Amino acid sequence: MASANKPTQTAIVSGGRRKVHSTWPDHTEMVEEYDVQTEELLVRKWKRPTALGGGGEWEFEIGEPPKSFNPDQDLLAPSNENPIFLRKDTADKFQWRVRNLPYPLEVYDVSVDHEKQQIVIRTSNKKYFKRFDIPDLNRLQLRLDPTKLTFSHANNTLLISYQKPPLVLQEETEKKKQLAKAKQEKPGKDGDVECAQQ
């Protein structure tokens, strides 16, 4: 039986990905998808129960939702030229990409809002504005440090990086050890389901 803070976990290997599904007692769900070969975290998404008790929509923390357009039901499709914001981390940095931003580097201002503990993206031409937090730091109750924030621009993509603090790196190393242990105990083949963990 799961404790109040610990989720029940199940894992499956499918399509070259190890998918770990975690469910907490309050019915909050999280799915993480790792590349089976490299153990790179490709997707992390959350579903929280609604006020009426039903399941909410999946919120993507890392990776991007699959694109779906049903011409029979949808009247309009999103433009391919709209900015696309997504997170894809590296081993030592949190990283976000904003695609379809054609402006030169000097137009962008990326800063930390200390009061709200968010990263803010602004353009001097007023064409793009975005605020976002780093849920990993919020979960560990760590504050943003502006000296760890960098950004660059190339190929119509704004790339924002934030150096991961030692506590986050330590937690990720522990998760990788658990994945490696599970992989040694039962190497993942497509379709394998692993037992629930507590």
Contact 16, 27 (CB under 8 A): no
Contact 130, 120 (CB under 8 A): yes
Q: Is the full-model pTM beyond 0.95?
A: no
Instruction: Give the pLDDT score at 2.
Output: 41
Instruction: Give the pLDDT score at 78.
Output: 64
Instruction: Give the pLDDT score at 86.
Output: 92
Instruction: Give the pLDDT score at 76.
Output: 67
Q: What residues contact 6, with CB distance under 8 A and at least 6 apart? A: 198
Instruction: Give the pLDDT score at 12.
Output: 85
Instruction: Give the pLDDT score at 143.
Output: 95
Beta strands 157-163 and 93-99: pairing type? Answer: antiparallel
As a whole number of angstroms, the distance between CA 161 and CA 157 comes to: 13
| Per-residue three-class SS string for the chain | CCCCCCCEEEEEEECCEEEEEEECCCCCEEEEEEECCCCCEEEEEEECECCCCCECCCEEEEECCCCCCCCCCCCCCCCCCCCEEEECCCCCEEEEEEECCCCCHHHEEEEEECCCCEEEEEECCCCCEEEECCHHHHHCCCCCCHHHEEEEEECCEEEEEEECCHHHHHHHHHHHHHHHHHHHHCCCCCCCEEEEEC
Q: pLDDT 10s per residue in the chain (198 long)?
A: 344 578 888 888 888 888 888 888 888 888 988 888 877 888 888 888 887 777 778 888 887 777 766 666 666 666 678 899 999 999 899 999 999 999 999 999 999 999 999 999 999 999 999 999 999 999 899 999 999 999 999 999 999 999 999 999 998 888 878 777 766 555 555 555 554 444
Instruction: Give the pLDDT score at 1.
Output: 38
Instruction: Give the pLDDT score at 77.
Output: 62
Instruction: Give the pLDDT score at 39.
Output: 78
